[in-house]
Amino acid sequence: MVEISRGSLFGWMAACMATWVAACAAACAAQAPAPAQGAPGSVSAPPIVSAPRIVSLSPHITELLFAAGAGARIVGVDDASDYPSAARQIPRLGEVAALDMEGLLRLAPSIVIIWETGTPPRVRTELERLHLRVLVTEQRRLDDIGQALVEFGRLAGTSAAADDAARRYRANLAELRARYEGRAPLKVFYQVWDRPLYTLSGEHVVSELISLCGGDNIFADVGQLAPIVDREAVLARNPDVILIGAAGKDGYAQAADWNRFPNLKAVRDQHVFAVNPSLVGRMAPRILDGVREVCLALDKARAGRPRLQ
């Protein structure tokens, strides 16, 4: 869903998504609100006709814009926008919670695109106070990504490239759904961060990824989007697989920490896997690589093979 506003305050409480939780080293997470209006993927204002000057204030928005053929339209990004490599050459405006507003104004953007649940309300209020045209966007499910590509292409005047990218994305998603349909179910715990122990509920797209691969998120029933849980709760639900949303040495260190609980089924069977959080949790076309990574881990568990090396 995308919504364009100018100068009005919508008092949403921001919720930390997976990548934001990790980046903030266990910042507090709150439940994300429902969109104010329209179905996911709807646009509540006319598209921009001429080539816009876009500021993107979320890594997944930057990825979506590049995938939609609109990379050349971006004049500024937040510090976390790191993909594709061309995004690193665009002027940076700081972290979304501490933006360089003076630098942003100097860029003279015709539109600023923000992530609804990942942007502090005070930042949106400040942007609107400065009479900037603000587009608020939210993708919550895998299908929303294809629609976002189409809409960003329309907004940026790059519909041909965006429509082609959306067709490819939807075809690849359909192929993955067909390939993994009917897999033997596995109970899965997804770990966002370990100090404190964060997971994700059924409201988060990661839960949809797990389900696509034939898994059941053991905390799908929790109300908050990114709740804190204790290890005793994980032990009680006894998952078949633990997925650690962390890359490199950090991922392996968090995985190894579970060895303190040898009676946990996932640990006993050596089915604790580290997955790339920028693929699994970022709402852009590369999320399908995250789907493949999660499905590979679950297939290894079904086959009785130990953790990824």
Q: What is the pLDDT of residue 131?
A: 95
Q: Cis peptide leading into 285, omega within 30 of 0?
A: no
The verdict on whether omega for the bond into residue 52 sits within 30 degrees of 0, i.e. cis, is no
In whole angstroms, what is the distance from residue 243 CA to residue 236 CA?
17
State the Cα–Cα distance between residues 292 and 44, nearest whole angstrom: 34
Q: Which pLDDT score, from 0 to 100, does residue 179 have?
A: 97
CB atoms within 10 A of CB 95: 14
Q: What share of the chain is helix, strand, coil (3-state, %, to 5)?
A: 45, 15, 40
pTM: 0.82
Could you tell me the sign of the dihedral formed by the alpha carbons of 164, 167, 170, 173, in that order?
Answer: negative
CB neighbours of 48 closer than 8 A, spacing ≥ 6?
110, 111, 155, 156, 157
From 170, 165, 141, 171, select the one nearest 152 (Cα to Cα). Answer: 165
- What is the pLDDT, as a whole number, of residue 247? 84
Q: What residues pair up with 157 in beta bridges, in sequence order?
A: none
N- to C-terminal Cα separation, the chain: 38
Tokens of 160: 């041909």
pLDDT on residue 11: 28
Tokens in use for 298?
């679950």
Question: Rounded to an integer, what distance in angstroms lies between the CA atom of residue 181 and that of residue 185?
Answer: 10
Q: How confident is the prediction along the chain (309 residues), in pLDDT tens digits per residue?
A: 444 443 332 223 233 334 444 334 333 333 333 333 333 443 344 455 478 999 999 999 999 999 999 999 999 999 999 999 999 999 999 999 999 999 999 999 999 999 998 999 999 999 999 999 999 999 999 999 999 999 999 999 999 999 999 999 999 999 999 999 999 999 999 999 998 999 999 999 999 999 999 999 999 999 888 999 999 999 999 999 999 999 888 998 999 999 999 999 999 999 999 999 989 989 999 999 999 999 999 999 999 865 544
Query: Of 136, 121, 131, which Cα lies nearest the Cα of 6?
Result: 131
As a whole number of angstroms, the distance between CA 2 and CA 60 comes to 14
SS3 207: helix
Provide the angle, in degrees to the nearest 10, between the axes of the packed helices 142-156 and 59-67.
70
What angle, rounded to 10 degrees, do the helices at 159-180 and 59-67 form? 110
The pLDDT of residue 281:
86
Find the helix packing angle between 287-302 and 205-212, rounded to 10°. Answer: 50
pLDDT digits (tens, 9 = 90+) for 109-126: 999 999 998 999 999 999
pLDDT at site 23: 39
What pLDDT does 77 receive?
A: 98
Q: Cα(57)–Cα(134) distance, rounded to whole angstroms?
A: 11
Per-residue pLDDT, 223: 87
Say if residue 35 is preceded by a cis peptide, omega within 30 of 0. Answer: no
